A and B are shown apart, each in its own frame.
Chain A
């Protein structure tokens, strides 16, 4: 065991790395404890692709401008006002300085990926994705002399009055304790603890898939909340989207996304439709369908499309089931064939004039007299071969977190904890009370990670 560091950073994702870089650059001796083994380091950050960045004018790969008020308005829309506006504005204002800082620390950007043009102005994409960002930061912290320990699971932080007195962790089969001057918690949410998820959401959560890392089990979060550290965010809620039902239990990441719902009908295990598939363009309905599917029997949905729609969406990672008749397809999907055929027939006869069909925009091609209706892109499912996908609920993150102030500092009801800061997913509930804004998770992690690192270093250097 090396000497006690000035600053202990818990976690090895974006927020942790940003904190470690700032702290080390301020001259502190920093130790990172990352629960994952090296190939899986970087938590959910390794799955990301972009961050949302305010800019008053063209900035690096970002075109035009994306100003504070527009950004705030976008956030208000998705959260329905469930945000701490002060912290939100801090994150948004600081994001502009983060982009050049990220570049200076090895992150490389590229224009928005093909198929995501709608984000070209607001989101800066990482070349190579989040894992390349994480790699660049690990190179940076190494060069700064930060020590990184993988497969190091933090189990307990001993809160003594207004101070973290000790941190316990397991590493290579042994328990260790350290008493650093300051601690930064950046260990994400609890979504990988499926039992906790089931306690919070209900038994249906047992059938959810976890889109990201299996290592974010909320151990530190639970430990701190149990000692009276202030929390924020709805403990029962998680952000969930509809993904390919064949995705792995953990770490399926971006490729399990399925964009075909607007051109399909979706039935449940009983062969019945349950929601308007054409309500809006898919990126806006991605999350709603996570909840819709979660409410169906066995938490699964079945997508049916026909040959004329198969090329209208981004290719998906698993090939669809394919059959020459609806009955055969239903059989392959394990659904009641007669019922599915009847549902399709009923849908088909409710379709009208499809000449206005236009896949990229709300085209108003709707059904009539059908419940639930399909209000856009409603074309009859008639042209074989027919294709089927299954949908399951994929959890992105949980909302419950540590409550922090504008210095990223944690508190109890007796006041601030002198030497404890939090950053990233584990405090994001302060700003994202509900919903999600694409690219905002990395913004929160970068901004508050940097603040936490600087504050912790200032405290440690003064002590």
Chain B
């Protein structure tokens, strides 16, 4: 697996300067890992890139940013390499190149997903009440089971490639505890001192991105748990949808949808304020498309519940499920992959810390 040489070279050049300086070592996990090396192999740099949370603190603290001739911009160098690594490890690769970069491509996928469901709803026989009066349970399963499992298979290929590339070892419970602990607290967006990161307004520290991300993450997990609980109710307890408000799927899904919906819009808002030149500019569109897709899935899901007796329900259902379909199918090829790679990088970092 080969990354694009210009991204590797630029990350290496900057890492060497940081290694001679080290002023930023308190900010995040990247610097201790960086400082453990003397020369940077491509795999070392890939791991650093996936460990970096793009908090940008090291950019604003750096005395060597442009116009200085050293032209330091570590968040950007690592973001470019990170995106390139996702392109490189994705399977099939070409799809990642398309969707990581382009919000338009994500929108096209969404429209296709919507059209597919719309047609399915018209063509396939319906049975039951609520949504199932629009599209039968069996039809939904027939569409979504592969749409969920195929991307997972693709992601597992990618993660294996990543793991082999960075030389990961046997994973223990301790490594996982460290990685999930870091992700749950978004420790690397806390800035080392706990004041947060420099995302939306130059060198001002703020917790906004960290909290917005936590809302998205928790919201997403709640939504996922809601769907899973529905599946269990359906198959194990023979209790099909629709569920009342005081049921597990709703009690998980409504707050989950709200958190996801608010969090995603918040992230999109922050992203509009942030300087694209401190990330991977060419991936901006794809990232924004992904955030908006998440927001759309959340809000259309909530609309389904609020407008459950409305005449527009079939339309909204097709829109919502079209969004969900696009989201799942694109999982390995959009920003969604970041969660998997970043977890892998955190696990790898736990191994490095243990060994040192």
Shortest Cβ gap from B235 to chain A (Å) = 53
Structural contact, B23 and A49, CB atoms closer than 8 A: yes
Q: List, in ascending order, chain B residues with CB within 8 A of A49's CB.
A: 23
Interface string of B60-76 (1 = CB under 8 A from A): 11111111111000000
Structural contact, B60 and A110, CB atoms closer than 8 A: no
- Residues of A in contact, count (CB < 8 Å): 31
Chain A residues numbered 218-248 whose CB sits less than 8 Å from any CB in chain B: 248
Structural contact, B22 and A39, CB atoms closer than 8 A: no
The answer to whether residues A113 and B23 also contact, given A47-B63, A135-B203, A139-B203 and a CB cut-off of 8 A, is yes
The answer to whether residues A114 and B25 also contact, given A316-B20, A317-B17 and a CB cut-off of 8 A, is yes
The answer to whether residues A114 and B22 also contact, given A135-B203, A317-B17 and a CB cut-off of 8 A, is yes
* B315 proximal to A (CB < 8 A): no
* B330 proximal to A (CB < 8 A): no
Q: List, in ascending order, chain B residues with CB within 8 A of A379's CB.
A: none
Interface string of B12-27 (1 = CB under 8 A from A): 0000110111111111
A254, B70: Cα distance in complex, Å: 13
The answer to whether residues A127 and B192 also contact, given A110-B26, A114-B25 and a CB cut-off of 8 A, is yes
Structural contact, B21 and A254, CB atoms closer than 8 A: yes
* B47 proximal to A (CB < 8 A): no
> A136: nearest residue on chain B (CB-CB)?
B203
Chain A residues numbered 112-171 whose CB sits less than 8 Å from any CB in chain B: 113-115, 126-132, 135, 139
Structural contact, A255 and B20, CB atoms closer than 8 A: yes
> B62: nearest residue on chain A (CB-CB)?
A131
Q: List, in ascending order, chain A residues with CB within 8 A of B70's CB.
A: 255
* A314 proximal to B (CB < 8 A): yes
Q: List, in ascending order, chain A residues with CB within 8 A of B65's CB.
A: 39
Give the dominant DSSP class at B's interface. loop
Sorting the interface of chain B by its residue count into under 10, 10 to 19, 20 to 34 or 35 or more gives 20 to 34
* B185 proximal to A (CB < 8 A): no
Option from A132, A251, A255, A314 in Cβ contact (under 8 Å) with B61: A132
The answer to whether residues A139 and B204 also contact, given A127-B193, A315-B38, A317-B16 and a CB cut-off of 8 A, is yes
Q: List, in ascending order, chain B residues with CB within 8 A of A108's CB.
A: 192-193, 195
> B39: nearest residue on chain A (CB-CB)?
A315
Q: List, in ascending order, chain A residues with CB within 8 A of B60's CB.
A: 128, 131-132, 135
* B35 proximal to A (CB < 8 A): yes
* A257 proximal to B (CB < 8 A): yes
A257, B22: Cα distance in complex, Å: 12
Structural contact, A113 and B61, CB atoms closer than 8 A: no
Structural contact, A128 and B26, CB atoms closer than 8 A: yes
Structural contact, B67 and A315, CB atoms closer than 8 A: no
* A311 proximal to B (CB < 8 A): yes
Structural contact, A113 and B63, CB atoms closer than 8 A: no
Structural contact, B63 and A131, CB atoms closer than 8 A: yes
Chain A residues numbered 82-136 whose CB sits less than 8 Å from any CB in chain B: 108, 110, 113-115, 126-132, 135
Structural contact, B20 and A311, CB atoms closer than 8 A: no
A314, B17: Cα distance in complex, Å: 12
Shortest Cβ gap from B115 to chain A (Å) = 50
Q: List, in ascending order, chain B residues with CB within 8 A of A113's CB.
A: 22-23, 25
Structural contact, A39 and B25, CB atoms closer than 8 A: no
Chain B residues numbered 39-87 whose CB sits less than 8 Å from any CB in chain A: 57-58, 60-70
Q: List, in ascending order, chain B residues with CB within 8 A of A47's CB.
A: 63
Option from A46, A110, A114 in Cβ contact (under 8 Å) with B63: A46
Q: List, in ascending order, chain B residues with CB within 8 A of A315's CB.
A: 16, 19-20, 38
* A253 proximal to B (CB < 8 A): yes
Option from B61, B67, B68 in Cβ contact (under 8 Å) with A129: B61
Option from A40, A129, A248, A257 in Cβ contact (under 8 Å) with B23: A129
The answer to whether residues A128 and B58 also contact, given A47-B63, A253-B64 and a CB cut-off of 8 A, is yes
Q: List, in ascending order, chain B residues with CB within 8 A of A130's CB.
A: 23, 63
Q: List, in ascending order, chain B residues with CB within 8 A of A40's CB.
A: 67
A367, B21: Cα distance in complex, Å: 33
**Could you pull out 19 A-B pairs where Cβ atoms are within 8 angstroms?**
A46-B63, A49-B23, A108-B192, A108-B193, A110-B25, A110-B192, A110-B193, A114-B32, A127-B26, A128-B26, A129-B21, A129-B23, A131-B60, A132-B61, A255-B20, A311-B38, A315-B20, A316-B20, A319-B16
